[in-house]
Amino acid sequence: MADDTDAELVVRAREGDVGAFEALVRRHLRVSYGAALAVTGDAQDAEDVVQEAFFRASRRLDDLDPPAKFLPWLLAIVRNHAHDVRRRRRVRATDELHDDMRADGAAVDPGRSAERDELRRRLVDAMATLSDVQREVLLLHDVEGWKHREIAALIGVAEGTVRAHLFHARRAMRASLGTELLEG
């Protein structure tokens, strides 16, 4: 299943193959989560967004054309839902419960070190300043390890455009965070 293309997995998932859909989930969970987290800025919200996005995708597989475009299609669902969640959260920003959750990070994720939490918060804040396409190119390249030409084919732009998006995204991230936090 790991060697199957997205298109092959989508075709099988459309026929009701649960394992094929799970393979798609596992393959694209990381980048979806990163994209959701960068928009919502909250780990729990990002998990909820990703869960809802994959669920919606499973219901709308017949709308996807061509099947090879599963990832950009999924990321569009993630992005739209994440923006909705962020808007709703802004509306309820004065909600007392929400304020308590934000103030008490340990209640959301008790096992995580404070240092990691702080780094994540700063990364998420920095990624929130990027455009959607810059953020997704950055995640695909630096988290998922995709090549420029693969990203270009996926999102339907020239390879040079992908390089430019990546360059500007990294520059913005370094400007926000400093190089010492970011070099892999």
Partner 1 sequence: MHEERLDLSSIELEPERRELLVAAIMARAASGLRARRSARGVLVLVGMWRRPVIAASALITAASVAALLLGSGTAEAVPVATADLYDALQLEQPVREWLSEGRGPTMVDLVSAVEDGF
| Binding residues vs partner 1 (CB under 8 A) | 13-18, 21-22, 25-26, 29-30, 33-34, 37-38, 47, 50-51, 54-55, 58-59, 111-112, 116, 119-120, 123-124, 127, 138-139, 141-143, 163, 166-167, 170-171, 173-174, 181-184
In whole angstroms, how close is the CB of 77 to partner 1 at the nearest point?
Answer: 13
Of 51 and 80, nearer to partner 1 (C-beta) is 51
In whole angstroms, how close is the CB of 96 to partner 1 at the nearest point?
Answer: 27
In whole angstroms, how close is the CB of 72 to partner 1 at the nearest point?
Answer: 19
Q: Who contacts 102 (Cβ-Cβ below 8 Å, separation ≥6)?
A: 42
| Distance, CA of 9 to CA of 31 (rounded, Å) | 18
Of 155 and 169, nearer to partner 1 (C-beta) is 169
In whole angstroms, how close is the CB of 97 to partner 1 at the nearest point?
Answer: 22
Of 22 and 84, nearer to partner 1 (C-beta) is 22
Q: Using alpha carbons, select from 39, 23, 20 the residue that is nearest to residue 139.
A: 39
Q: Are the C-beta atoms of 171 and 178 separated by less than 8 Å?
A: no
Helix (H, G, I), strand (E, B) or coil at 93: coil
Of 93 and 181, nearer to partner 1 (C-beta) is 181
Of 84 and 117, nearer to partner 1 (C-beta) is 117
Structure token digits, residue 3: 């060697």
In whole angstroms, how close is the CB of 91 to partner 1 at the nearest point?
Answer: 25
How crowded is residue 12: how many other Cβ atoms within 10 Å of its Cβ? Answer: 19
Angle, in degrees to the nearest 10, between helices 114-128 and 18-40: 80
Gyration radius of the chain over CA positions: 17
Angle, in degrees to the nearest 10, between helices 70-91 and 6-14: 80
